[in-house]
Structure 1
Amino acid sequence: MKTILASQTMDIPEEVTVTVKAKFVKVEGPRGTLTRDFKHLSLDFQLTEGGRKLKVDAWFGSRRTMAAIRTAISHIQNLITGVTKGYRYKMRFVYAHFPINASITNSNTSIEIRNFLGEKR
C-alpha cells in the first residue's frame, strides 16, 4: 500500500547555510562546503522558516521510498557535522604474510604503499 504523503523536517544550526536546488544539497559551514546529489531518490526537498528548517517529502511512496526519507535526512545531518565539527580518520596497516611498507608523501596529503602483496619493484 502506498502512503499519500510522508514528510520529515530537520532543524539547521545557526552557523550552517543549506541551499537546495533540484535535489542537489549544498551545506556551507565554518569548516568548508560539502555537496550531495539526491537525484536518484524520488523525494522533494524544501527549505522552510527562512532557511532554518529542511523538509523532505515523498508523495505516493512505497516502503522503500519511506525509508529513503530518513536516509536522506541522516546524510544531510552528516554533512552538517562535517562542516561544523569535522571528521577524523585513523588508519592501521595489517598484514598476514607479506610485510607492508608505507610512507607519507606530498606534504602529508597522500600515502604510498610499498611491497603490497609481496611485489618487489
Structure 2
Amino acid sequence: MHPPLFFRAHNQREINSLLTILSLRSRISAFFTVPRAYAIMSLASKLSITDVDVKGKRVLIRVDFNVPLDENKKVTNNQRIVGAIPTIKHAIDHGAKSVILMSHLGRPNGSPNPKY
C-alpha cells in the first residue's frame, strides 16, 4: 500500500496535473509533499465508525445536513438526515458517552453572518 500523497490544488489545471500523477503513482516510488497540504488516501485505508470502539467516549460526527428548504424554511428533502441515522444509532447503541453532530445549513454568501 502506498503512503498518502499530499498536495494542494488551486485551479483546474493543477487538479488535472495531480490526477495524472495519481494515475502514474503505482510506477513512482517517491513520496511527494507540499507544505500545508491535503492528503489523498484510498477509501480502503479509512476507518468506519464500526471499526472504532466508541464505548464511554464522546463522539463527534460531521454530518451533511445541508438540506434544501422551501420559502417557509421547511425541509423539502430529508434524505441526508435519514442517511446519517445508522451512524448516529451505531454510536448510541455501542455505548458512546455522548454524540455531537456537526453540520452547516446553507452558505453565508462568502462572508460571515453578523447574526452569529
Quickly name the TM-score band, shorter chain normalised: under 0.3
Q: Which has the higher strand share?
A: 1
With structure 2 as the length reference, what TM-score do the two structures score? Answer: 0.22
Report the TM-score, using the length of structure 1 for normalisation. 0.22
